[in-house]
Amino acid sequence: MNFRPPFRVPIIVPLYGIIGCVLAMLVIRPFLSLVAITIVFGIYLQLVSVPKEKRSTDVRSGIFAAIAQWSAMKVIQLDLTNVRAWKPTFLVPIEDGSQLLGEFRILLGFAE
């Protein structure tokens, strides 16, 4: 989801921010600032050159897909001969333990 502010920001406001940040970078470390600006500009050009049909819809979806792929590879590599049973621990705020037998009976089923 994209963030779109409900109000209009004059174009000069972000330009002041960009100019101020770049000047501060150049004052602190000129050489490393130019290296960083070059890298950012290179990434920008690479992203712009990708055709719209091949672009992912969201950065998060790419990150989640990479994590899922990594997790799947780790699960495949697991030694399943030594499987331990995992049982969830539920923290349910109740005043009396007898309440678990009524409304929260499903929690007992999960925990057994």
Per-residue pLDDT of the chain (112 residues; tens, 9 = 90+): 556 666 777 889 999 999 999 999 999 999 999 999 999 999 989 888 877 776 556 777 778 888 889 888 887 887 766 666 666 666 777 777 676 666 666 666 665 5
Structural domain includes residue 108: no
Evaluate whether 33 touches 26 at the Cβ level (below 8 Å).
Answer: yes
H-helix or E-strand spanning residue 43: helix 30-49
**Number of structural domains the chain divides into:** 1
Centre a 10 Å sphere on the Cβ of residue 104 and count the other Cβ atoms it contains.
14
C-alpha span between 111 and 100 (Å, rounded)? 12
Which has the closest alpha carbon to 110: 85, 93, 82, 76?
85
- State residue 26 phi and psi, 5-degree precision: -65, -35
Q: Considering the domain boundaries, does residue 102 fall inside one? A: no
Residue numbers of the domain that contains 13 = 8-54
Domain presence at residue 23: yes
112 domain residue, yes or no: no
Inside any domain, residue 34: yes
